[in-house]
Chains A and B, each alone.
Chain A
Amino acid sequence: MENKSALLVGVGGQGAILTAKVLVTGLMRAGYDVKMSEVHGMSQRGGSVSTQVHWGKKVYSPVIGFGAADIIVAFEKMEAVRYANYLKPDGVAIINDYEMASSTIAAGMEKYPEGCLEAMQAHFKVFPLNAEKIASELGNVKCANIVLFGSMVKALNMTDIDWDAVISDVVPAKFRELNLRAYHAGFDAV
């Protein structure tokens, strides 16, 4: 297998870090070399955030540049557009059909761009879903991140890893059942 790169993008506080933790735990158990990179500090204050995960037989760089990601998981759809130039032309995108206004949009100084999802669909293989809606129906909007993770597993066909076991070990015990259901709902949604 060639090395793979995933980019998890969203807005600070959406749970991308926990999602990445589930992903890398599973990859490690499957025996892959894994590297993961995130940025702390200023970017946490409502900014755009990205977490990168790379895996394969032997992985060197923890970060990638333009045109190098196999998959983007966008927790917010404008973020998918922001990072689209990191995706390989034949890469896939899991896009949460969910809008979060930036402070300038909320203040009426700028407009949320139209057609984010459609623009991505015109160029890439896209798996769209409304993770917030699915998570709410499961009883807790906070598990939207694991819903997206389920879709990612399906899109990358990574079913040889026992993700139920991984999720059970990584998430806090009291949210275990919820997140397992979220994972399967996300898997079935795309």
Chain B
Amino acid sequence: MDPVLLSGNEAIARGAFEAGVKVCSAYPGTPSTEIFENLPQYKDALYCEWAPNEKVAVEVAYGASIAGVRSLSAMKHVGVNVAADPLFTAAYNGVCGGFVIVSADDPSMHSSQNEQDNRHYARAAKIAMVEPSDSQECLDFLKEAYAISEQFDMPVMFRITTRVAHSKSLVTFGERTEREVPAYKRNMKYVSSPANAYKNHAKVEANLKALEAYANTSPLNKEEINGSEIGVITASIAYEYAKDAFPEGTSFLKLGLTNPLPMDLIKAFAKKVKKLYIVEELDPFMEEQIKAAGVECVGKELIGNLYELNPQLLRERIFGEKPETVDVGVKPVSRPPALCPGCPHRGFFYTVGRHKNYVVAGDIGCYTLGFAPPLSALDSCVCMGGGFTVAMGMAKAFEASGQTDKKVFGVVGDSTFFHSGMTGAAEIIYNKGKVIPVVLDNSITGMTGHQDNPGSGFTLEGEIAEKLKIEDILASYGYKKIIIVDPQDLKAMEAAVTEAAESEVPAAIITRRPCLLIKRIKHDIGKCEVDTNKCIGCRKCLSVGCPSVMVENKKAKIDVTTCVGCTVCAQVCPMGAITRKEK
């Protein structure tokens, strides 16, 4: 078969199929999402699902491993924070079927809230880490990762970055190998009682030692000896950058198994070259360990630990070769991302943004964009689920400090509600928080590109599932007033926030309107038009922050190609100059 051009994520999905994996569970997050979006094509051979969150996903995949089959979980870097609890204990208990967790890090934060380097997790959890550098390695190394997991009785972290996940390169497929599943037998090693854990820790350290010995001979770690002047130790995407950046005659030690580091191999390589560089993105993960082992080398003092690298940056920082560039002398204007035309979140943020005493704690999703001017309607955004609970802390602080004029709203999306908003909703009501939880329900996991969740009615494999009703869950917690509102109706939206803010009983709001980009729903699309005779150029319509609404020659203008006729701008026009027409 001819090689095909695949992204790293597509190749990982293929690798899971070829490795004989049987159970896969994940929560979407850029840049990991396409791994699981590419698994349903293999659903005859494996089970795959979107779990409500990453902790659940890792637990499900680990359960499958205990029951004897190979399993896969995947998440973005911050997802591992959520899943860290089961991960660290699974490392003690060990595995039966091979168990691999993909951590997709996002250097330069193309779509993330921080730049954490998850290689530290592998070291902290004392598990093996495998790092591919292109799509073919994503496939090949994943199969090897399963063998390592089973041979050394531990979960394996398969660590990729945005440029490994989303870059495409040529891949040659193999065949699926079915692995014999042992008959299930109860085994006390999976019960992490303190007495077991005490014994397990010693076992983990012994397994790591054995793994390090293996790492020194593993086919995942490869020497390329091309000369004795310069040597480079590198891994992951940094290998590709270094291959382009370093001169001919440079020798490489390319590491694919990076925890534990193959220190004998590293020391032997260091002896073969006069000058040794460690080239890695983000933290000096390898460099610090290599230096601690007494090997002289150069790395972060030249390369730095911020953001993505590329070949030209490496050349500049290591050899002082500044790239030749041309300044054309015209400054472009930035294009900040914005809520789409017709986005249902717009009406909510426009409404709360107009109340100066409202404090709004936000969360992770498209609706993080509620912070952006002119809506400027968010006070915080921390992490998944933090919308409700950060709001709780703020409300308690306002109470404790006598700032009684503040009304606090906590905002999460529907997928985030199921991810970790439910526990926050319980916290608010049980501990009597003066917070109004708001679920922005657009019926889909939006920002990551439309994955199903327990509220959307479909599974990853495309089957229909009974939707969980957010209002029923909130009611069962004891919220006495649950206001369900169409956020596109600004009068109703205003009435909803006022009613909730003044409510004597615990109140919650669900804004409900599906994302316009959901393909399986028939949307009511129109277009808005400006009557320039009526328009007085007051620019009020610009305050809704819609990309389709602009001002031209001191009059409002609406872009016909992108407008969907949601009428939010029309509702704020004091002159009635904007009307909706059929498209």
Residues of A within 8 A of B (CB): 11, 24-25, 28, 33-48, 59-68, 78-79, 81-82, 84-89, 101-108, 110-116, 119-120, 122-124
Contact of A35 among B167, B327, B329, B448 (CB under 8 A): B167
Closest 10 CB pairs of A and B: A65-B312, A41-B111, A67-B323, A106-B550, A62-B167, A41-B30, A45-B337, A65-B310, A60-B243, A82-B332
A60 with B326: in contact, given A41-B110, A101-B550 (CB under 8 Å)?
Answer: no
A88 with B324: in contact, given A41-B447, A68-B312, A103-B335 (CB under 8 Å)?
Answer: yes
Contact of B166 among A39, A103, A122 (CB under 8 A): A39
Using CB atoms, name the residue of chain B closest to A38.
B166
Q: Which residues of B are found within 8 Å of A39, using beta-carbon distances?
A: 110-111, 162, 166
Answer yes or no: B219 CB below 8 A from chain A CBs.
Answer: no
A119 with B328: in contact, given A65-B310, A103-B335 (CB under 8 Å)?
Answer: yes
A67 with B324: in contact, given A38-B166, A40-B31, A46-B547 (CB under 8 Å)?
Answer: yes
Are the C-beta atoms of A68 and B330 separated by less than 8 Å? no
Answer yes or no: B339 CB below 8 A from chain A CBs.
Answer: yes
Q: Which residues of A are found within 8 Å of B369, using beta-carbon distances?
A: 45
Task: Count B-side interface residues using an 8 Å CB cutoff.
Answer: 59
Contact residues of B between 108 and 136, Cβ < 8 Å to A: 110-111, 134
Contact of B336 among A66, A103, A111 (CB under 8 A): A103
Answer yes or no: B262 CB below 8 A from chain A CBs.
Answer: no
A25 to B2 alpha-carbon distance, docked (Å): 13
Using CB atoms, name the residue of chain B closest to A48.
B335
**What is the CB-to-nearest-CB distance from B21 to chain A, in angstroms, rounded to a whole number?**
24
Answer yes or no: B241 CB below 8 A from chain A CBs.
Answer: yes
Q: Which residues of B are found within 8 Å of A41, using beta-carbon distances?
A: 30-31, 110-111, 447-449
Are the C-beta atoms of B167 and A37 separated by less than 8 Å? yes
New A-B contacts (4) at CB < 8 Å, excluding given A62-B169, A103-B335? A35-B169, A41-B31, A78-B332, A89-B324
Contact of B551 among A24, A40, A45, A106 (CB under 8 A): A106
Contact residues of B between 325 and 357, Cβ < 8 Å to A: 325-340
A120 to B168 alpha-carbon distance, docked (Å): 30
Are the C-beta atoms of B111 and A113 separated by less than 8 Å? no
Q: Which residues of A are found within 8 Å of B213, using beta-carbon distances?
A: none
Are the C-beta atoms of B337 and A43 separated by less than 8 Å? yes
A59 to B241 alpha-carbon distance, docked (Å): 10
Identify whether the interface residues of B are mostly helix, strand, loop, or mixed: loop
Are the C-beta atoms of B330 and A119 separated by less than 8 Å? yes
**What is the CB-to-nearest-CB distance from B42 to chain A, in angstroms, rounded to a whole number?**
22
Using CB atoms, name the residue of chain B closest to A78.
B332
**What is the CB-to-nearest-CB distance from A140 to chain B, in angstroms, rounded to a whole number?**
13
Q: Which residues of B are found within 8 Å of A110, using beta-carbon distances?
A: 333
A92 to B369 alpha-carbon distance, docked (Å): 36
Contact of A81 among B3, B167, B240, B332 (CB under 8 A): B332
A52 to B265 alpha-carbon distance, docked (Å): 35
Answer yes or no: B539 CB below 8 A from chain A CBs.
Answer: yes
Answer yes or no: B313 CB below 8 A from chain A CBs.
Answer: yes
Answer yes or no: B545 CB below 8 A from chain A CBs.
Answer: yes
Instruction: List, sorted by A's number, 26 A–B pairs whose CB atoms are closer than 8 Å.
Output: A28-B170, A34-B169, A35-B167, A35-B169, A39-B162, A40-B34, A40-B166, A42-B30, A44-B337, A45-B337, A48-B334, A60-B244, A64-B310, A65-B310, A66-B323, A67-B325, A68-B311, A68-B312, A82-B332, A85-B327, A86-B325, A104-B336, A107-B374, A107-B545, A108-B550, A115-B330
Contact residues of B between 527 and 583, Cβ < 8 Å to A: 539, 542, 545, 547, 549-551
A28 to B33 alpha-carbon distance, docked (Å): 26
A87 to B325 alpha-carbon distance, docked (Å): 7
Give the interface centre of A61, A88, A119 by most chain B CB atoms within 10 Å.
A61
Q: Which residues of A are found within 8 Å of B5, using beta-carbon distances?
A: 24-25, 28, 34, 36
Give the interface centre of A36, A46, A86 by most chain B CB atoms within 10 Å.
A46
Using CB atoms, name the residue of chain B closest to A112.
B333
A43 with B339: in contact, given A61-B240, A85-B326 (CB under 8 Å)?
Answer: no
Are the C-beta atoms of A113 and B163 separated by less than 8 Å? no
A102 to B163 alpha-carbon distance, docked (Å): 27
**What is the CB-to-nearest-CB distance from A142 to chain B, in angstroms, rounded to a whole number?**
10
Contact residues of B between 237 and 254, Cβ < 8 Å to A: 237, 239-241, 243-244
Are the C-beta atoms of A11 and B335 separated by less than 8 Å? yes
**What is the CB-to-nearest-CB distance from A147 to chain B, in angstroms, rounded to a whole number?**
18
**What is the CB-to-nearest-CB distance from A169 to chain B, in angstroms, rounded to a whole number?**
13
Q: Which residues of B are found within 8 Å of A63, using beta-carbon distances?
A: 163, 167, 241, 308, 310
Contact of A84 among B313, B328, B333 (CB under 8 A): B328
Using CB atoms, name the residue of chain B closest to A105.
B333
Answer yes or no: B484 CB below 8 A from chain A CBs.
Answer: no
Give the interface centre of A39, A59, A62 by most chain B CB atoms within 10 Å.
A62
Are the C-beta atoms of A103 and B545 separated by less than 8 Å? yes
A62 with B324: in contact, given A34-B5, A40-B31, A107-B551 (CB under 8 Å)?
Answer: no
Q: Which residues of A are found within 8 Å of B162, using beta-carbon distances?
A: 39
A35 to B545 alpha-carbon distance, docked (Å): 37
Are the C-beta atoms of A85 and B325 separated by less than 8 Å? yes
Answer yes or no: B366 CB below 8 A from chain A CBs.
Answer: yes
**What is the CB-to-nearest-CB distance from A129 to chain B, in angstroms, rounded to a whole number?**
19
Are the C-beta atoms of A47 and B330 separated by less than 8 Å? no
Are the C-beta atoms of A66 and B312 separated by less than 8 Å? yes
Q: Which residues of A are found within 8 Å of B328, using beta-carbon distances?
A: 81, 84, 119-120, 122-123
**What is the CB-to-nearest-CB distance from B234 to chain A, in angstroms, rounded to a whole number?**
11
Are the C-beta atoms of A42 and B326 separated by less than 8 Å? no
Are the C-beta atoms of A84 and B326 separated by less than 8 Å? yes
A116 to B329 alpha-carbon distance, docked (Å): 9
Q: Which residues of B are found within 8 Å of A124, using beta-carbon distances?
A: 326
**What is the CB-to-nearest-CB distance from A178 to chain B, in angstroms, rounded to a whole number?**
18
Interface string of B364-402 (1 = CB under 8 A from A): 001001000010000000000000000000000000000
A42 to B338 alpha-carbon distance, docked (Å): 9
Are the C-beta atoms of B366 and A45 separated by less than 8 Å? yes
Contact of B334 among A59, A102, A123 (CB under 8 A): A102
Are the C-beta atoms of A60 and B110 separated by less than 8 Å? no
**What is the CB-to-nearest-CB distance from B407 to chain A, in angstroms, rounded to a whole number?**
28
Are the C-beta atoms of B333 and A78 separated by less than 8 Å? yes
Are the C-beta atoms of A113 and B331 separated by less than 8 Å? yes
A61 with B168: in contact, given A42-B447, A46-B547, A104-B334 (CB under 8 Å)?
Answer: no
Contact residues of B between 283 and 340, Cβ < 8 Å to A: 308, 310-313, 316, 323-340
Are the C-beta atoms of A108 and B366 separated by less than 8 Å? no
**What is the CB-to-nearest-CB distance from A77 to chain B, in angstroms, rounded to a whole number?**
10
**What is the CB-to-nearest-CB distance from A63 to chain B, in angstroms, rounded to a whole number?**
5
Contact residues of B between 87 and 117, Cβ < 8 Å to A: 110-111
Are the C-beta atoms of A42 and B337 separated by less than 8 Å? yes
A84 to B340 alpha-carbon distance, docked (Å): 28
A88 to B324 alpha-carbon distance, docked (Å): 7
Q: Which residues of B are found within 8 Å of A67, using beta-carbon distances?
A: 312, 323-325
Give the interface centre of A82, A116, A124 by most chain B CB atoms within 10 Å.
A82
Using CB atoms, name the residue of chain B closest to A91.
B326
